[in-house]
Structures are given as C-alpha cells and as structure tokens.
Chain A
C-alpha cells in the first residue's frame, strides 16, 4: 500500500537552530513528493516538491528537503529556524495508482521558541 509517515507529532527547536521535520514514504515506482505548511486558521500552502533530479530540493521561506531513495525519506530542513516558522507541516506523495491524488501524512507541528 502506498503511504506516507510523519513519525513526530511535534518538533520543538530554538530560534536560530537548524530544524528537521521527518517524512518517510512507501510507494511503487519513482515517487513525487511534496511538503506543505499550514499556519493557524489557514489552508495548506505549497513549500516544495521533488519530482526528479537533484536530491536536495530548495523551496519557499528558506526551506529545503533531501530525497533519500535508499532510506525512502524526504525530510524537511532549514538551517536556521525562525519563530514565524511555527506551524503545521504536511508531507505528501503522489498516488501513482491514481495519479491525480496526493496521500498526506498526519502532520507535524513545529514549535520554534525564542
């Protein structure tokens, strides 16, 4: 079965420190992977995607993600966290059996402390 897992419900980090939000996936074939962010009382906003090519993908707001095929992971990273990065983050993978759909993880709440 195709799936996405976000093993951490919450990640806490001090402002200025690097952050990582973890995501692992299980799909058949080559994955299309996505990260979204949701601020309070808002819809999901697209951050970045991996389709093919360089394993390090750069996205909005200074975020980047590293695709690791051997570990089936797509962790979201940022070198220096901001308090304003505090939000809910969702990893998603395209369902290759139904190419118009995304499978979302359950989300990870990032809390950045001043």
Chain B
C-alpha cells in the first residue's frame, strides 16, 4: 500500500440499503477526512477525525457516520442510502503540520 486506498472503486446501490466505504492510509497521519464531490459544488467535508478515537462533523454530515478505531482506517457508512447521496467520495489524510491533505482515488457511488 502506498498512500491512501479506497474501496470499492465504484458501486451501484438500491435506495434504503446500508453501505460502507473503506479508506486506509499507510502514512501514519493523525487526521483523516471524508469529502463528497458534486458537479458545481466542489468538495464538501462530510466527517473528519483529528486522531484515532475521535471524530467530528463537517459541512454535510447528515445520513453518514464514521468511526476511527485506529490510525490507518476511516470507514464511512451510509445507514440507509438515498438517491441524493449519489456522488464521488474522497478520503484524505493530513499530518497537520501545515494542513496539506493527501487524497485517495475516490469511490463513485450511485444510489437508485
């Protein structure tokens, strides 16, 4: 593993289903983030974690939950998916020195 990996690469999901997007980093960064990217809206922060064991809400947290059991993993869960959650999801991490973030390749999620 080099950097940040996300899984799956893409997924089509029926509305109402539960889905977990996975994110793993090998840079030993303390901070991790989940963003969604939608056309014309740029990147919006969903949830973040400053360190293992802590999480916080971002700009658009409703309908999503996260956990941070260890430094490397930061899964994002949609408890009951809705079509408005159709988006591309990016995970990122930061060593917090200057705030520079490193991004994963993204997960393209379609909710029907």
Contacts and interface: CB of A to CB of B under 8 A. Distances in A.
A43 B103 contact: yes
Contacts, number: 52
A90 B43 contact: yes
Interface residues on B, range: 20 to 34
Interface string A14-34: 000000000000000000101
**Interface SS of B by simple majority:** strand
A43 B43 contact: no
B96 A101 contact: no
B53 interface: no
Nearest to A36: B103
Interface of B: 4, 31, 33, 40-43, 45, 48, 50, 58, 90, 92, 94, 96, 98-106
Interface of A: 32, 34, 36, 41-46, 49, 51, 90, 94, 99-102, 104-107
26 contacts: A32-B98, A36-B103, A42-B105, A42-B106, A43-B4, A43-B105, A43-B106, A44-B101, A44-B103, A45-B103, A46-B100, A46-B101, A46-B102, A49-B98, A49-B100, A90-B42, A90-B43, A94-B98, A99-B99, A100-B96, A101-B48, A101-B99, A102-B99, A102-B101, A104-B43, A106-B42
